[in-house]
């Protein structure tokens, strides 16, 4: 059914559990504070967790845990997160969107880091959640998310996934195609609130694999071809679909805020052309993070100010603004510790091989993503050479860092790669029968393993 009727279901205002007055110092301010110690290159850089430093022993510490000690306890490779960074970032998001947008909803885009501990952490902080599959939905439910706070995405939801969403009572299903509208309408036994995902024809400046808003994208209803307008006609005949809003997500790792403004303006124009008055406008995620010392992404405050102003300009005061960050909630909070196995000279390259690689971080191979690293026991030692950090997989492209400036590296050294908190664990795989690393949360000097290391036995666990 078309139209933006008032929602009947009670909506718990996002963010209420968080006392804004008790807000800890936002991550960026804290980083600036830490930057006053010029001898600590880790504290001065936006690429390392805000809750990280070089400790009195000269070792890298994350969440108060010495990474040399931690590596001997949990082994390598391991994903290590500063829990405080994620909590601070969630609060920073809630506070900024409340300040700039009033009635707003901040969602954790869980594809960036799906595990029960991350879902629980962001639920505790008062965020809603974006899930993109039945698997992510079932994890969010298992972690205790109120179903009304769940937004269900996906460009090709299966009937089973739609059934799970309907039966569990998710707040919103974000619809992606005409076939899907028919599928959901056919399966729903009572009216379901839906948004339609609109492809606004905006190509932001990012890697083409993570750009989603241009005409021709596999995601959403294309504005340019009239698909979005046809979706509205189709919705008129869908008795069980209650259209309450519009959605657009144009891409990821975006430094340029202007593209958001153009995308939101296109949604506003579409709305006006079709006399829609959306109750909710979901403006996606996408804020970039610093992977390298010298990168300088916009702050959450700048991002919130721009998105909220753009929605007000495009729609007036009416709709609630939803936003779904992934990378910028978790990316800089996480690092990966590896153990160096071998080193060798190959042509003009000095090769340093670590005990992980493309199975725990696909991003360099998929997107030519660049990373930086230090040695855990001497992170501030000056660089004496540029090395190529490679993984242990049977692929020449299994290179984590092309040219890493490092002090002299030897077998047994611990190499720590910065900013691996988003889409590392999420996209990990078992290529070459390599077990996936554990996930460890560190806070106040305490470490807890929230996802255990896979074993060799796990690898054949599903085999007949
Ligand atoms: N909302 C939707 C509908 C999305 O598709 C995404 C990401 C997000 C929100 C969150 O975007 P973020 O704030 O994390 O940029 N594997 C790639 C990233 C793919 C992003 C997919 N969608 C990478 O490692 O860079």
Residue 252 CA to ligand 1 center (angstroms) comes to 5
- For residue 18, being part of any structural domain is answered with no
Stretch (H or E) spanning 97: helix 83-101
- Are 348 and 399 contained in the same domain? yes
- Which is the closest atom of ligand 1 to the Cα of 107? 9
- Which is the closest atom of ligand 1 to the Cα of 174? 3
Alpha carbon 73 to its chain's center: 28
- Which is the closest atom of ligand 1 to the Cα of 285? 13
Q: What is the CATH number of the domain that holds 431?
A: 2.40.37.10
- For residue 191, being part of any structural domain is answered with yes
- Per DSSP, what are the bridge partners of residue 287? 254
- Spatial CA neighbour of 116 closest among 139, 149, 87: 139
* Ligand 1 pocket, residue 130 CB under 6 Å: yes
Give the 3-state secondary structure of residue 404.
strand
Pocket test for ligand 1, best of 86, 89, 245, 249 (most atoms within 8 A of CB): 249
Pocket test for ligand 1, best of 112, 175, 425 (most atoms within 8 A of CB): 112
- For residue 235, being part of any structural domain is answered with yes
Residue 209 CA to ligand 1 center (angstroms) comes to 10
CB 7 within 8 A of CB 193: yes
Among candidate residues 272, 302, 324, the one where a domain is terminated: 324
Give the 3-state secondary structure of residue 213.
coil
- Are 315 and 336 contained in the same domain? no
- Are 388 and 312 contained in the same domain? no
- For residue 26, being part of any structural domain is answered with no
Task: Give the domain extent around 440.
Answer: 34-83+332-455
- Are 231 and 299 contained in the same domain? yes
- Which is the closest atom of ligand 1 to the Cα of 328? 13
- Are 148 and 252 contained in the same domain? yes
In tens, the pLDDT along 86-141 reads 999 999 999 999 999 998 999 999 999 999 999 999 999 999 999 999 999 999 99
CA dist 114 and 408 (Å) reads 36
* Ligand 1 pocket, residue 252 CB under 6 Å: yes
- For residue 88, being part of any structural domain is answered with no
- Are 50 and 172 contained in the same domain? no
* Ligand 1 pocket, residue 83 CB under 6 Å: no
- Spatial CA neighbour of 342 closest among 334, 351, 333: 351
If one counts the domains in the chain, the total is 2
Q: Calculate the alpha carbon distances from 315 to 1, 200, 228, 266, 267 in Å.
A: 22, 15, 18, 11, 9
CB 181 within 8 A of CB 232: no
- Are 234 and 311 contained in the same domain? yes
Among candidate residues 274, 291, 324, the one where a domain is terminated: 324
- Are 363 and 295 contained in the same domain? no
In tens, the pLDDT along 31-70 reads 444 443 456 878 889 999 999 999 999 999 999 999 999 9
* Ligand 1 pocket, residue 112 CB under 6 Å: yes
CA dist 62 and 445 (Å) reads 8
Among candidate residues 324, 344, 364, the one where a domain is terminated: 324
- Which is the closest atom of ligand 1 to the Cα of 423? 24
Residue 343 CA to ligand 1 center (angstroms) comes to 35
- Are 375 and 231 contained in the same domain? no
CA dist 208 and 367 (Å) reads 8
- For residue 3, being part of any structural domain is answered with no
CA dist 140 and 127 (Å) reads 12
- Are 437 and 421 contained in the same domain? yes
Residue 434: CA count within 13 A, CB half-sphere: 22
Q: Calculate the alpha carbon distances from 126 to 7, 119, 123, 325 in Å.
A: 21, 11, 5, 14
* Ligand 1 pocket, residue 213 CB under 6 Å: no
- Are 316 and 342 contained in the same domain? no
Residue 112 CA to ligand 1 center (angstroms) comes to 7
CA dist 179 and 185 (Å) reads 10
Q: What is the DSSP letter of 287?
A: B
Output the pLDDT for position 201: 80
Q: What is the CATH number of the domain that holds 131?
A: 3.20.20.10
Q: Which residues are catalytic?
A: 394
Enumerate long-range contacts of 186-193, CB under 8 Å, 24 or more apart.
187/159, 187/162, 187/163, 188/240, 188/241, 189/240, 190/240, 191/1, 191/239, 191/240, 191/241, 191/242, 192/166, 192/240, 192/241, 192/242, 193/7, 193/9, 193/242, 193/244
- For residue 16, being part of any structural domain is answered with no
pLDDT in tens, the chain (464 residues): 555 543 333 333 333 332 322 333 334 444 444 443 456 878 889 999 999 999 999 999 999 999 999 999 999 999 999 999 999 999 999 999 999 999 899 999 999 999 999 999 999 999 999 999 999 999 999 999 999 999 999 999 999 999 999 999 999 999 999 999 999 999 999 999 999 999 988 777 776 777 676 678 888 999 999 999 999 999 999 999 999 999 999 899 999 998 899 999 999 999 999 999 999 999 999 999 999 999 999 999 999 999 999 999 999 877 999 999 999 999 999 999 999 999 999 999 999 999 999 999 999 999 999 999 999 999 999 999 999 999 999 999 999 999 999 999 999 999 999 999 999 999 999 999 999 999 999 999 999 999 999 999 999 999 99
Residue 422 CA to ligand 1 center (angstroms) comes to 9
Judge residue 464's burial from the number of C-beta atoms within 10 Å of its C-beta, 0-12 exposed, 13-18 middle, 19 or more buried: exposed
Query: In sequence order, which residues have a C-beta less than 8 Å from that of residue 438 and are 6 or more positions away?
Result: 74, 75, 78, 79, 449, 451, 452, 453
- Are 140 and 172 contained in the same domain? yes
- For residue 27, being part of any structural domain is answered with no
Pocket test for ligand 1, best of 127, 207, 252 (most atoms within 8 A of CB): 252
């Amino acid at each position: 059914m078309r139209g933006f009727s008032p929602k009947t279901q009670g909506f718990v205002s996002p963010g209420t559990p968080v006392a804004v007055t008790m807000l800890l110092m936002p991550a960026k301010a804290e980083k600036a504070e830490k930057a006053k110690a010029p001898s600590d290159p880790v504290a001065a850089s936006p690429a390392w967790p805000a809750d990280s430093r070089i400790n009195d022993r000269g070792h890298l510490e994350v969440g108060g845990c010495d990474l040399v000690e931690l590596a001997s306890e949990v082994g390598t490779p391991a994903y290590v997160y500063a829990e405080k960074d994620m909590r601070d970032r969630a609060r920073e998001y809630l506070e900024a969107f409340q300040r700039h947008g009033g009635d707003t909803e901040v969602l954790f885009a869980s594809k960036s880091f799906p595990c029960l501990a991350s879902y629980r952490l962001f639920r505790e902080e008062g965020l809603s959640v974006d899930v993109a599959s039945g698997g992510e939905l079932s994890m969010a439910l298992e972690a205790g998310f109120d179903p009304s706070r769940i937004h269900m995405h996906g460009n090709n939801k299966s009937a089973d996934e739609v059934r799970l969403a309907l039966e569990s009572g998710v707040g919103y299903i974000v619809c992606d195609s005409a076939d899907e509208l028919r599928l959901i309408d056919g399966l729903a036994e009572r009216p379901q609130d839906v948004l339609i995902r609109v492809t606004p024809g905006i190509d932001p400046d990012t890697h083409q694999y993570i750009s989603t808003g241009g005409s021709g994208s596999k995601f959403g209803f294309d504005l340019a071809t009239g698909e979005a307008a046809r979706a509205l006609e189709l919705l008129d005949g869908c008795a069980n679909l209650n259209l309450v809003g519009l959605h657009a997500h144009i891409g990821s790792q975006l430094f340029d805020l202007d593209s958001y403004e153009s995308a939101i303006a296109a949604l506003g124009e579409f709305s006006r052309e079709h006399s829609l008055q959306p109750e909710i406008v979901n403006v996606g995620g996408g804020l970039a993070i610093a992977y390298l010392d010298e990168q300088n992404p916009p702050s959450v405050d700048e991002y919130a100010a721009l998105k909220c102003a753009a929605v007000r300009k495009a729609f007036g005061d009416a709709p609630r603004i939803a936003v779904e960050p992934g990378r910028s909630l978790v990316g800089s909070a996480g690092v990966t510790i590896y153990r160096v196995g071998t080193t060798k000279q190959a042509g003009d390259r000095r090769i340093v091989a670590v005990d992980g690689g493309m199975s725990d971080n696909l991003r360099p191979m998929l997107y030519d993503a660049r990373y930086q690293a230090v040695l855990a026991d001497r992170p501030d030692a000056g660089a004496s050479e540029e090395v190529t950090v490679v993984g242990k997989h049977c692929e020449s492209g299994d290179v984590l860092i092309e040219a890493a400036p490092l002090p002299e590296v030897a077998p047994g050294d611990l190499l720590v790669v910065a900013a691996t908190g988003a889409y590392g664990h999420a996209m990990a795989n078992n290529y070459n029968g390599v077990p996936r690393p554990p996930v460890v949360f560190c806070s106040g000097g305490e470490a807890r393993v929230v996802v255990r290391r896979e074993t060799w036995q796990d690898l054949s666990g599903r085999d007949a």
